[in-house]
């Protein structure tokens, strides 16, 4: 197997924990429509998907005119709510070590480009990524493998020389389906042991932070 030559990172929930902000944005956007979303439902049916896919999955009964504008309104509100972002512990140092070791880096996300660039900028990581793959700009977003296959193509790397870092079920499915070693990231769970749900989806292991990550 080739040595590790590329690292492919999700953004939301992987490089930084933004789910509370996303949840708040959806809560505010849906309130005028008389809708509420329980956090456990949100975790199962929103996290990791594009806003268009979220609306299609959860709000098929909403007036189509209203439904069409929901994703854009929600993402604009999300950006307005973002303040200083806190990187996942160890991730900036890990990415710097990868750069110094000549390992390619890419960000691969279902977030809109405006969100992704804003988050990477606030994290001080936008210049660290050699390419930024946006699921909404492709024929398929995550959980389809196309976003990660696109990152590999842009970097000129084979799947077996890369590693994916992902926090969501959709993202892990995407990385695994692309044939890339996929590591789960979970900054919230008390345990990331053998029963973690991301392992059942094909993640090789699950980490809480990047402090102990190596290129082996």
Q: Tell me if residue 11 falls in helix, strand or coil.
A: coil
Q: Which residues contact 100 (CB under 8 A, 6 or more apart)?
A: none
The whole-angstrom distance between residue 162's C-alpha and the CA centroid of its chain comes to 17
The whole-angstrom distance between residue 131's C-alpha and the CA centroid of its chain comes to 15
Alpha helices in the chain (DSSP H): 19-30, 39-45, 51-58, 64-81, 91-100, 113-123, 146-155, 169-177, 197-200
Which residues are part of the catalytic machinery? 10, 12
Q: Are 213 and 89 in contact (CB under 8 A)?
A: no
């Amino acid at each position: 197997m080739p040595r590790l030559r590329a690292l492919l990172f999700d953004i939301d929930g992987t490089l930084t924990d933004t789910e509370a902000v996303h949840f708040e944005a959806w809560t505010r956007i849906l309130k005028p429509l008389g809708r509420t979303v329980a956090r456990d439902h949100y975790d199962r049916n929103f996290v990791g998907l594009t806003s268009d896919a979220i609306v299609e999955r959860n709000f098929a009964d909403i007036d189509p005119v209203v439904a069409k504008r929901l994703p854009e309104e929600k993402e604009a509100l999300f950006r307005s709510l973002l303040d200083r972002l806190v990187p996942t512990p160890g991730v900036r140092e890990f990415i710097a070590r990868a750069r110094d070791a000549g390992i390619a880096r890419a960000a691969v996300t279902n977030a809109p480009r405006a969100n992704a660039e804003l988050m990477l900028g606030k994290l001080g990581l936008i210049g660290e990524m050699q390419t930024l793959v946006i699921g909404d700009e492709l024929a398929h977003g995550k959980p389809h493998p196309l976003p990660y296959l696109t990152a590999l193509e842009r970097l000129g790397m084979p799947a077996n020389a890369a590693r994916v870092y992902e926090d969501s079920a959709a993202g892990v499915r995407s990385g695994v389906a692309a044939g890339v070693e996929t590591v789960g990231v979970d900054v919230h769970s008390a345990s990331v042991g053998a029963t973690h749900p991301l392992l059942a989806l094909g993640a090789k292991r699950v980490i809480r932070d990047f402090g102990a990550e190596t290129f082996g």
